[in-house]
Structure 1
Amino acid sequence: MSHRFASANTAGPVWGLFLGALMTFVGMGLWFNTTLAVMPERQEQSLAVASMLVGLFLAVYAGREVCRQRR
């Protein structure tokens, strides 16, 4: 379409980097909260690990897309 912005194609991977970093920090916060708790629960540890893995995967994939679009 003629009214599309050129920078709209690069906004997705940048938001992916931001969301990936946010998910990783949330997972780290959950992990530290679980390890410092008196009675740690398995579900909280699993949720922390899952959110860290999703955040890292998202950040790596978005970073790859940012580098690929700059070429």
Structure 2
Amino acid sequence: MKARVIVMLKSGVLDPQGEAIRHALGAMGFDRVEGVRQGKVIELDLAEDTTDPEIAEMCERLLANTVIESYRIERV
């Protein structure tokens, strides 16, 4: 089984990488981009019987800094 974890900075947390991307897009002529939030995607190959609470614990303990990041789990 595969699971995809999407990790993003929480609203209100400054995102300098997202701002740099937005600025670069504007410099390339994409001036209609008003904001960019940058995050990460982690794909996990898991045993078939892995539960959602186990995946959430992985996120809480290692994959996301839950003080400033939120995460979403998708089974794929």
TM-score (norm 1): 0.27
More helix by share: 1
Higher relative contact order (CA closer than 8 Å, sequence separation 6+): 2
More strand by share: 2
